[in-house]
Structure 1
Amino acid sequence: MIVYITGRADWPAPQIGIDPAAGFVHCSDPGSVLIPARRLFAGRRDLLLLEIDPALVGVPVRWEPGDPPEPGGPWFPHVYGPIPASAVVAVHEFPCDDDEGFRLPESLAVR
């Protein structure tokens, strides 16, 4: 599974669009999602974590270094085309808790 962070107001949608500057959809896996969550979404309480089956996206998924790349850092799944809503297999609340920061939903943390 791969995951995508989005605002509650932006979901549901017919698809997840690509980042025009990058040319792909920035995703993560459960083991790396806290990196962009902390870096880009700190303090946000309106977030959802979309669980996506990469076999259902219908476009290439490539594992590549993060942006900016970190020596020895994790690689991230980049989806080279829009992700259809039908590829989203679960939706999880993903708020930033003042005391703990972000926490993975239990169903993703145990994988």
Structure 2
Amino acid sequence: MTHLVYKIAPRALWQAAEATGVFDGAPIDQADGYIHFSTASQAAETAAKHFTGRNDLVLIAVEADKLGTALRYEVSRGGDLFPHLYAPLPLDAVSWIKPLPLGSDGKHKFPELRHE
């Protein structure tokens, strides 16, 4: 079974990455020096904390095994280990991309995510 990590990104930013063939991250990723990812159990909290009210997002599922040693799990919010990628994201590591719409309650509606 493939281990997945998840990236939430504005649709336009992701479309630009697809057009150029490389994803170097969002401005916050570039400022921090790595691309922020979440595990399945962290993704909803990440959306609520950093993307409240945004209805222009996509959820990108990435095969962690294809990222090699550039992917590191490091202590972050609440002492949890979060996946951080210290390299551009190779687009061939992307398993799928889905819209991340807002529900009537104002929270993002996630597809079913695989918890590992």
TM-score by length of 1: 0.83
Cα deviation digits, residues 36-80 of structure 1 (max 9, x gap): 2101100111100000001223451111122xx42xx42110011
Counting only pairs closer than 5 Å after superposition, residues 1-111 of structure 1 correspond to structure 2 as 1-12=4-15, 13=17, 14-18=21-25, 19-66=29-76, 69-70=77-78, 73-99=79-105, 101-106=107-112, 108=113
Residues 110 and 63 of structure 1: CA distance in aligned 2, closer, same or farther (over 3 Å): closer
Count the aligned residue pairs.
106
Match for 1:38: what amino acid?
A
Q: Gaps (5+ residues) in structure 2?
A: none
Runs of 4 or more, structure 1, over 4 Å off, are: none
| CA distance in 2: counterparts of 1:103 and 1:15, whole angstroms | 27
Alignment check: 8 A CA contact 2:100 2:108 kept: yes
Identity over the aligned pairs, expressed in percent? Answer: 32
Q: Gaps (5+ residues) in structure 1?
A: none
SS of 1:83's equivalent in the other structure is coil
**CA RMSD of superposed structures (Å):** 1.9
| CA distance in 2: counterparts of 1:75 and 1:58, whole angstroms | 17
Match for 2:24: what amino acid?
G
Structure (1 or 2) with the greater helix fraction = 2
Displacement after TM superposition at 1:104 (Å): 2.1
